[in-house]
Amino acid sequence: MKLNPSFVGSALSSLLAIDLWASKRLGVCAGEGSAWGSARPLMKVIEVSGHGIPWVLGTFYGLWHTDSSAAREVLLNLLFALLLDLVMVSVVKGLVKRPRPTHNKMDMFVTISVDKYSFPSGHATRAALVCRFVLRHLVLAVPLRVLVVLWALIVSISRVMLGRHNMTDVLFGLLLGYALYGVVEHCWLSPATAPALFALWSR
């Protein structure tokens, strides 16, 4: 079946118009004066919990302090996953150049130049990637596994509530993060595949 290009074009623009409209309505913490403005400080704490800096620095800290070779392997792969995610999100943001929603207040904790763009949400990619990584590589009791999934969902939803993103930025971000985990698993670094890297971190 061949679709008429003008039909595809108008379907896409309608979808984008719905996305902009719904995202604006859901941006209830976009400013102090917004409907849920009093929840904005809490949303910003959630934002920091999914930011790249605590995750990258926390992983370095863990690598520095661990004596276990199994933990070192997991942490090195987590570091690789986080860096791959930062690079991929920067490349896509730089190519697509979708501006952030007009109701967003640009008061985010440490950003880089491409973070003026909104597609995809870097927090959503990281949340999906870290969530899959943790569920696969950490032995956690069921309530903690549920908490990890809830954290990833809350970080993602908070991006729209804070007015940082449109819904499609977050949905694509979740898909990208989910897919990136597949790449990390495929390229899994181990003392056999990356001996120089492991020699660097072993004591």
Ligand X SMILES: CC(C)=CCC/C(C)=C/CC/C(C)=C/COP(=O)(O)O
The answer to the question of residue 115 lying near ligand X (CB under 6 A) is yes
Least CB distance to ligand X at residue 200 (A)? 18
The answer to the question of residue 53 lying near ligand X (CB under 6 A) is yes
Q: Helix 5-26 to helix 167-186 angle, to the nearest 10 degrees?
A: 100
The answer to the question of residue 111 lying near ligand X (CB under 6 A) is yes
The answer to the question of residue 84 lying near ligand X (CB under 6 A) is no
Residue 97: left if φ>0, alpha if ψ -120 to 50, beta else—which one? left
The answer to the question of residue 163 lying near ligand X (CB under 6 A) is no
Cβ contacts of 126 within 8 Å, gap of 6 or more: 50, 52, 55, 82, 85, 155, 177
Residue with tokens 């997991």: 74
Is the CB of 68 or the CB of 113 nearer to ligand X? Answer: 113
Residue 23: count other Cβ atoms within 10 Å of its Cβ.
Answer: 24
- Choose, from 51, 65, 103, 123, the residue flagged as catalytic: 123
Rounded to a whole number of angstroms, the distance between the first and last alpha carbons of the chain is 62
Q: Are 29 and 36 spatial neighbours (Cβ–Cβ below 8 Å)? A: yes
The answer to the question of residue 51 lying near ligand X (CB under 6 A) is yes
Cβ contacts of 112 within 8 Å, gap of 6 or more: 90
Of 29, 40, 73, 123, the one binding ligand X (CB under 6 A) is: 123
- Pick the piece of the chain touching ligand X (CB under 6 A) from 18-26, 30-38, 119-127, 193-201: 119-127
The answer to the question of residue 20 lying near ligand X (CB under 6 A) is no
**Is position 123 annotated as part of the catalytic site?**
yes
The answer to the question of residue 98 lying near ligand X (CB under 6 A) is no
Point out the residues that are catalytic.
Answer: 123, 165
Binding residues for ligand X, rule: CB under 6 A, are 51-53, 56-57, 86, 108, 110-112, 115, 121-123, 159, 164
